[in-house]
Amino acid sequence: MSSKYRLALIAHDQKKDDMVAFVEAHRPYLAGCALFATGTTGQRILEACPELDLQRLKSGPLGGDQQIGALISEGMVDALIFFVDPLTPMPHDVDVKALTRLAIVYDIPMALNRATGEIMLKARETG
């Protein structure tokens, strides 16, 4: 089993640019992590930071959110950063709720915006 910090990254369409900027800002730290991301989010991250250890899963609406949920339930994810767009209706909103529930059940940190993502990574970087 890897000793790397295992982090799942998801971003709604209107938040993908924010996620890429977040990852670029934390590139040195994230280079030491094992990353999982849903399809398009992962593709955008890898285009900007191809050196990262990132496993792309399916697109969120096509099952990627559930794949992340399965990884959480199997103890394969240490934390989740999910940049949610609260202003755009999502047809797969039930998947977002399921991920939130799994993060609570398995007691892993979950950041829903850049501010909480910053706090989460700063705590890991300094702690």
Query: Could you give the 3-state DSSP secondary structure of residue 67?
Result: helix
What spatial distance separates the first Cα and last Cα of the chain, rounded to whole Å? 22
The DSSP H or E segment spanning 38 is: none
Of 65, 93, 95, 107, the catalytic one is: 65
Q: Extract the tokens encoding 52.
A: 């990262």
Active site residue 107: no
Residue 55 CB coordination number (10 Å):
13
The residues carrying an active-site annotation are 65
